[in-house]
Each structure stands twice: as structure tokens, then as C-alpha cells.
Structure 1
Amino acid sequence: MNRRELLKLAACSALISAVPLQRAFAAKPGKLIAATPLGLPQVILARALEDPELKNLIPERELLDWKDPDQLRAWLARAEVMVTATPTNVAANLYNRGVPVVLMNVNVWGTLGMLGLEHKGSLATMEDLAGRHVGVPWRGDMPDLVFRYLLGKAGLEVGRDVKVSYQSSPFETVQMYVAQRLDAAVLPEPMRTATRLQSLQFGQSPNELDLQQEWARLAGGEPLLPQAGVLCRRELLEKVPEQVAALQAAIGRAVDWVVGEPEAAARLGADRSPLSRQVNEGAIARTTLKMVNAQEARPDLESFFSALSELSSGFIGGKLPDAGFYHV
């Protein structure tokens, strides 16, 4: 991704936020309106909605893009959107705040990483960050909490061992990192791949650190973090359970397709967003994708939520979601 593409992505996000919420959401009986953030969750859900078996059952479908959780919360609260791809902590927060939603599945299990300036030395472990200046987008959100949790496990303290500055968006983090105003940056995919490619164009060869691998090393277990999935409003599950079952199956097939056909999936991503095919393909290679039903993923989710809630209980709305949150 070159600078023009990066700016185009930022402009696209701004346009999404400017779309009036009063738009006609076509509340026709039988029509399924879904939503997604930019990135691989968008590719998965876009593919699932075009699944032949799902199309036969639900002829009318629409996929919207949401910019931030506030916009998504408004759509879900007014039942203008019935299904959405979302980070798992956003889903838990919505549920704990009284929005009638059910988590259907988790399908993104690893998308966080770091880039480090080559001349600052090796970036093979979290311990290598000692003495460096790190940029982190979205203070208090998942990338920040995962990063700070791992810092603590590595015996490092913000302010004492590592300088951390926060940016309001990944775009600002990328700009500061590419300008070498940061020694390292915490970035989710696809921004990590886009920034890596941009750095290479500027003659920089960044070091990379996979935060899922560091989680396994420092906290134990597998290098898997239940980061994103798909939820639906409870009334959809209660009124048309067969549609939810068909969508769940279609999402499973879509995830398998993205993993098995990364070039085709990257083209679909490029068609639906400002992200180039090359960026989408790199993001797929650096992201762990597998479809796990919410009930089966519950132990992993509760372990993940509990760990990050040590830093901020508001991350998930103050408590672990109860059994009603998980679709069986």
C-alpha cells in the first residue's frame, strides 16, 4: 500500500461515518441486513452472504460497513442491522449493556502484531522493547490491552521501561511510525501489512513480532486469541432459527474458502474496500482464521476476557457475559 492508498482508506472511513443513520434500511420481511468493519471480517461475511445455499433461503441480503462501535450500537439497538461481524469484546460489551444480541461464532484468532524500526535492533520478544518508544492505537481497546498485558508478563512497565504514546486511530500510528517518530508500533491486520509494504517502499525493512506467539510464550497455551466473530440480534435467532443456522454454516464455508483460496479472497477484499489485493493477501497470511461455534469458544473467550479485564473491566462491560451470550 502506498501513501495514496493509505489516505484513500482513511477517507473511506470518514465517509462511512458521515452516512446518515436515517438512511432507508429496507425493513422488508425476510430481508437480512448485516454489517461489518473493514478488514478480513468483511471478506468473510461478504463471501458468506453470497453462499448459494444461503441465497436460496434468504434471497434479499445487504451488507453495510460500520466505522466504530457507537455506530454499530445504534444500528443494533434500533434493529436496523440484524447480523454483524465484530471484535469479541465489542460483542460482550453490547450484551452486558442490554442490547439483545447473541454471539454466533469466533472466526478470527490472531490479527495483532508489531513492527519495529530495523536500526533499533532485534524485535524477537517483548523484552526487546525495553528502552523503546511504542505507538498504540485506540487506548483501552483490544490492541492496547493485549500489548500491556504482555508487557507485564515480560516484566516491563510502561513509563519505566517502555515509552508508550497513544493515537486515536491506526492511521495516525502508521504515519508516526513511517516518519520514524516511533521505534515500534502495535497494529492489527490489515494495517500491519499495509504499513510493512509502505515501509519497504521507503527503503525500510521493519522487524515484525507476532503478539499471538508472544501470548503463548508468556501466558501459556496456544498462539490463539479469540478476537473477532459474528453476532446476531436475539429475535432473529428466535423467529427464524433456520436462517441463523444457514448463515452459521455459510460463514464456516466462507472461512474455509478464505484460508484455501487467499488470492481469490484478496481480490474480493480489494473489490469491497480501498485495501489493495496485495494488502489483503498479506493480511490473510498473517491472520489465524478458523470458525468455532460460540459455545465451543466460550472457555477461550472467558480466559481471554478475564486476562484483559485485569487491566480494564470496562473492556467487556464490567463482567463476563453469562450463558445467554453464547449461541449453542
Structure 2
Amino acid sequence: MVVLTRRKTLAGLSVMALSGLGAPSIVRARDVLTIYGPPAAPSAVLAHAIKTGLLADVMPGAVFKAWKSPDEMRAAVASGNMGAVVMPSYGAANLRNRGLDIGLLNILSNGLLYIVSKDETLTTLERLRGKSLALPFRNDMPDLVIGRLVQEAGMEPSAIRLEYAATPPEAVQLLLTGRVDAALLSEPAATGVILKAKSLFMDVHRVIDVQQEWAKFSGKPAIPQAGLALTREMCDRIGPSGVEGLQLALEKALEQVLADPLTATASASEALGFPPEIIAASFPTSHLVASRARAARPDLEHFYEILAQTNPAIIGGRLPDDGFYLL
């Protein structure tokens, strides 16, 4: 056992203070920070980074919590109660353009939306005409994307009967109980309902890859769907080197998650409300990345411009300024 005398302790603190000048800024241990994310696959990367200590140098003692709904998340960010949060990429741009000092650190998924159904013939939007489609989070990412796809398909907005659900599990229940013909879900909910159906002696099929449908008219193979946003207060707390350290930690976490999905997802299971095996099984269809915001900027602006063609207010009326892209 090593016994620290007062003299040794003070000497050690002096060394730490000097060496810290060139190291990432850290938050004091008593200032526990929470990183928030949706009940979706990208949050598994964050949960793993925290559980394995990859963020110990920049956010010692940090914890991860899942937000319940986009409305709850936006209100908490606007009130200063969420300083580090994974959110829809357009949502971060909207908040920025409405005057909130928030920026995007990265993109963590290039698209994880799928339409699933018991009817394996519903493989096109046209075949969904007159059918009912459950989707969570009205006026948010799934709703905005499907609305634009319907428009691009030359269909009237009411061609598909939308049944809005408060949460992904509610949309899953609507599908499994036969109250809707199909459901638009993100991962891991899409994988989860397919596996859940098997346990109930039913078949649910992944009938439409939303990313592929988007690419047909946008010319881009990816939807830069969600990323980690930081408020100015959070950036100031961890400092510029801490912001860089956070990104490096997430890049490392992504490598580990993809290399050993089942082990890594144990970190996220409780927070996301899915068994580890379902989260792990969803990774191949989650298009997980850890792309720095500046590198993703061309894809982000292309995505924002497409959304704004329908309603400029979706992104706050304009493309976000240079300061929006933190790294």
C-alpha cells in the first residue's frame, strides 16, 4: 500500500498543475457532468465511452442518461439543463439559428431509419398508399423525412395514413397488435421489433430502407441524422483541448463498439431499454460513424437545404454559421 504524506500530496498536486497546462482541460470531479442521448444506437457509443473510462481525462465521473422525447430534450437544452446531448442534426441547427449558443461536435449516425411491416410486399412508398404507418415523435426527424419522401414520390401528403406514437415502443406495439400496417422506426427499435415478433411466432420484415429512398432523389448515400451537440457553457467548462479530447474518445469508443458489439453494448443496455444482443444486432444497419462536424459539413448543409425546401423554419430559416461546427 502506498501512503501519501501531506508533503507528497502537495508535491503531486504541483506536478499535476504544471503538467495539466498541456493536457486536455478537465472538469472537477465534484462537477459531475451528464451526457444525454436518444434511446437509439448512437447513444451506445457514448455509454461505452463513459463506462470504459475513455472520457476520464476530459469528463471525470461523467454519466449517460437517455432523453425520453425530442420536445423534452429541446426544452432542457434551451433552459441550460442539457449541455452535452445527442440530438437530430437539424435540431441543433434550428436551436443555433434561434439564438442558442450551441454547436455540433460530430455526426454519430449516417442514417438509421427503416420501415418495418408484417406484410413483406410493402417494399415501396407507392405500395404504402392507403395503408397506415406508425411513427414516433410527430414533427421530428422521422416525420420530416417521410414527409419529404412522400413528396418526392409524387404522392399527396395524405396518401399514407400516419399514426403518431409518443415513443418508439408505442409504435412497436401498434404494429405488433395489428393496429397499423407498418411502422417507421430507428435502430435499435427496428431490429428489436423483428426479433420480438419471432418470439411471438410472428414475422416482421424490414421492408424499406429509408436511407436508400433518400439517396434516390438527394444523390447522397447518407442522412447525417444525429450528432453530439455542446452548448457554449459546456465547451467553456471542458476547454478547447477537452472538446478535442471528447471527440478522440468517441472515435476510439466507436472502434471498440464495432470490434466487439456484444461486450460494448452491455454498457448501454439499461439506459436505452434494449437487451445488449438487440443493440449489437442493430449496428450493421445503424451506419454508426464519429465524423467531425466540419468534415460532415457538406453533407449536413445538403441535408439542411433539402429540409428547408419544404419549410425553412425546420432549420431556423438559414444554414448555421461557421461557429456551429465545433471541430
Pairwise same-fold verdict (TM > 0.5): yes
C-alpha contact 2:29 2:60 (8 A) present in aligned 1:
no
Distance 2:147 2:325 in 1: 28
Paired residues for 1:301-316 under 5 Å: 301-316=300-315
Residue 180 of structure 2: which of 168, 179, 182 is its match? 182
Determine the C-alpha separation between the residues in 2 that align with 1:272 and 1:140.
25
* Farther off after superposition, 306-315 or 191-200: 306-315
- Deviations along 1:227-261, whole A, 9 cap, x unmatched? 11111122443461111110010011112222222
Shift of 1:178: 1.0
The correspondence of residues 244-255 of structure 1 with structure 2, limited to 5 A, is 244-255=243-254
Secondary structure of the corresponding residue to residue 65 of structure 2: strand
Aligned residue pair count: 299
Alpha carbons 1:109, 1:227 under 8 Å: kept:
yes
* Cα pair 1:140 1:315 within 8 Å, conserved: no
Counterpart Cα distance in 2 of 1:53 and 1:45: 10
Structure 1 residue 271: Cα displacement: 4.2
One of 195, 198, 214 as aligned partner of 1:197: 195
Which amino acid in structure 2 is aligned with residue 90 of structure 1?
G
Q: Supply the distance in 1 between the matched residues of 2:58 and 2:131 (Cα, whole angstroms).
A: 54
Q: 1:266 to 1:310 in 2, by over 3 A?
A: same
User: C-alpha separation between the residues in 2 aligned to 1:32 and 1:39?
Assistant: 20
Distance in 1 (CA, whole Å) between partners of 2:71 and 2:230 is 17
1:225 aligns with 223
Tell me what 2:9 maps to: none
Q: Check 1:282–1:97 CA distance in 2 against 1; reply closer, same or farther (3 A cut).
A: same
Return closer, same or farther for 1:271/1:162 CA change in 2, 3 Å cut-off: closer
Distance apart, 1:180 and its partner CA: 1.4
Unaligned runs of 5+ in 1: 1-25
Please identify, of 282-291 and 269-278, the stretch whose mean Cα deviation from structure 2 is larger: 269-278
- SS state at 2:87 partner: strand
2:39/2:273 contact within 8 Å kept: no
Where structure 2 has 5 or more consecutive residues not aligned to the other structure, the ranges are 1-26
What CA RMSD, in Å, does the superposition of the two structures yield over aligned residues?
2.5
The residue aligned with 1:6 is none
Deviation at 1:80, TM superposition (A): 4.2
- Measured in 1, the distance between the counterparts of 2:276 and 2:54 equals 27
For residue 297 of structure 1, report the CA deviation from its aligned partner. 0.9
Looking at structure 2, the residues matched to 286 and 253 of structure 1 have their Cα atoms a distance apart, in angstroms, of 20
The match for 1:17 is none
Which residue is equivalent to 1:270? 269
Whether contact under 8 Å (1:140, 1:312) holds in the other structure is: no
Is the partner of 1:60 in helix, strand or coil? Answer: coil
**Which runs of structure 2 are paired with 1:96-245 in the superposition (5 Å)?**
96-118=97-119, 122-159=121-158, 161-208=159-206, 209-222=208-221, 224-238=222-236, 240-245=239-244
- What is the TM-score of this pair, normalised by structure 2? 0.82
User: Taking structure 1 as reference, are residues 188 and 52 closer, same or farther at Cα in structure 2, changes over 3 Å only?
Assistant: closer
Q: Which structure's CA Rg is the greater one? A: 2
Q: Aligned pair 1:66/2:67, yes or no? A: yes
Change (3 A) 1:188 1:57: closer
Aligned-partner Cα distance in 1 for 2:77–2:204: 40
Say which is worse superposed, 72-81 or 129-138, in terms of deviation.
72-81
Question: Are the equivalent residues in 1 in contact too, given 2:149–2:214 (CA < 8 A)?
Answer: yes
TM-score, normalised to structure 1's length?
A: 0.82
Contact 2:28–2:60 (Cα < 8 Å) also in 1 = no
Identity %: 33
Distance in 2 (CA, whole Å) between partners of 1:175 and 1:53 is 37
C-alpha separation between the residues in 2 aligned to 1:54 and 1:168?
A: 32
Deviations 1:77-134 (A, max 9, x none): 454443222221221222122221111000111110001222xx52333333234222
Deviates more, 1:141-150 or 1:314-323: 314-323
- The alignment partner of 2:255 has SS state of helix
8 Å CA contact retained: 1:141, 1:315: no
Is the partner of 1:34 in helix, strand or coil? strand
Structure 1 counterpart of 2:181, one-letter code: D
Going from structure 1 to structure 2, the CA distance change for 1:151 and 1:46 (only over 3 Å counts) comes to: same
Structure 1 distance, partners of 2:141, 2:133, is 16
Q: Offset at 1:321?
A: 1.5
Equivalence for 2:317: 318
String of CA shifts for 1:254-297, please: whole Å, max 9, x gaps: 12222222112232222444211222122212210111111111
Structure 1 residue identity aligned to 2:193: T
Gap change, CA 1:316 and 1:122, over 3 Å in 2:
same
